[in-house]
Amino acid sequence: MSSSGELPVPQEIVDATLRAADARGVPAAEVTVRDIAQEAGVSRSTLLRRLGGTRQALDEALRAAGVEPGGRKPVRERAIDATAALISEQGLGTVTFERVATAAGCSVPSLYATFGGRDELLRAVFERHSPIVDMETVLAGRSDDLEETVRRLYRLLADALEREPRVLPALLAEVFARPGDENVQMVFRSVTPRLLAGVGAWLAGEAAAGRIRDMPPLLLTQQMTSPIFLHFLLRPVTSRVAAADLPTADETIEAFTQAFLRAVAPPPSGDGAA
């Protein structure tokens, strides 16, 4: 009830406000009176009469319902966070719009309005929680320092594998367990071309410049990333069973950096080996 003693805002108006906010991906405070009226199936003037001529009563009713009018994240952010948590805790196959909507506190139609479909939602989650965007940034502004670039890329990979929610480890676990699964295939159809266009193209350029061995970009990319992936995927288990032998993350990154550089160093001059 408002502080001026007016009748409380009807629950259907509160519900209409929340539906309109979810459908548009904005906080409730940013939904226009016209949009609320349309969602509630009444005229704008009728809605204003029910609200006593201002939105103050509506804001109070929203707070009474446990919703801060300007404090909710947009649907897009809530859905990405909810999906990441589902993937981390229960796996990629558990992600449905119905479960995401429940976890995110939004409607299924608002998810379709925001993402268009499940594939786009998964792409958005992977982009947020994988290192690929940051790796592209590093490579776009890299220097000619091969060693430092490898070290920086390893740091990004390690951070992505260790941070919560553990989206990247969960996706990699799905790859090993169900490589033919359509969910896994969809994610990697969107990621692999970017990885090869970024890391693969950079490594191919290093090979063309004679700084590393000339090998297919895919093999170079896998040779670079596979050891760091395996180590940090196993690190939570290793820390429990062989903690005394476990190097720090920084020591691990440095060791893998030097190992990779030795492995792909060009053959000595006059050596015809590939």
Residues whose CB is less than 8 angstroms from the CB of residue 33 and which lie 6 or more positions away in sequence, other chains included: 44, 47, 48, 55
Residue 136 clears pLDDT 70, i.e. is over it: yes
| pLDDT of 7 | 55
Mean pLDDT for 215-221 is 94
Residue 256 lies in a domain: yes
Residue 211 has pLDDT above 50, yes or no: yes
| Percent share of the chain, pLDDT over 90 | 49
Same domain, 101 and 55: no
pLDDT tens digit sequence for 144-159: 899 999 999 999 999 9
Does 248 fall in a domain? yes
Check whether residue 138 and residue 254 sit in a common domain.
yes
| Candidate from 52-61, 110-119, 200-209 with smallest mean pLDDT | 52-61
Residue 272 in any domain: the answer is no
Average pLDDT of span 1-19: 72
Question: Are 183 and 97 contained in the same domain?
Answer: no
Do 53 and 15 fall into the same domain?
yes
Structural contact between residues 66 and 101, judged by C-beta atoms closer than 8 angstroms = no
Structure-model confidence comparison of residues 77 and 69, the more confident one: 77
For residue 139, being part of any structural domain is answered with yes
pLDDT of residue 63: 77
Share of the chain above pLDDT 70, in %: 93
Do 79 and 98 belong together in one domain? yes
Are 146 and 179 in the same domain?
yes
Instruction: Say if 270 falls within a structural domain.
Output: no
- For the chain, the domain total comes to 3
Where among 118, 152, 184 does a domain terminate?
118
The arithmetic mean of pLDDT across residues 181-209, rounded, is 88
Question: Are residues 256 and 134 part of one domain?
Answer: yes
Q: What is the dihedral of CA 231, 232, 237, 238, to 10 degrees?
A: 50
Q: Is residue 274 part of a domain?
A: no
Q: What is the pLDDT of residue 158?
A: 95
CATH number of the domain encompassing residue 192: 1.10.357.10
216/49: higher pLDDT: 216
- Global pTM value: 0.72
Residue 5 lies in a domain: no
Residues 36 and 114 in one domain: no
Regarding whether 134 and 86 lie in a shared domain, the answer is: no
157 shares its domain with 80: no
The label of the residue with tokens 């006059």 reads: 270
Q: How confident is the model at residue 3 (pLDDT cuts 50, 70, 90)?
A: very low
Same domain, 168 and 234: yes
Closest to 195 (Cα-Cα) out of 221, 215, 160: 221
| Rounded Cα–Cα distance for residues 213 and 264 (Å) | 5
101 and 134 belong to one structural domain: no
Domain that holds residue 232: 130-263
Q: Is residue 70 domain-resident?
A: no
Say if residue 165 is preceded by a cis peptide, omega within 30 of 0: yes
The domain boundary, picked from 64, 93, 109, lies at 64
Q: What is the pLDDT of residues 26-69, one digit of tens each?
A: 778 778 888 899 999 988 888 888 887 778 888 888 877 767 77
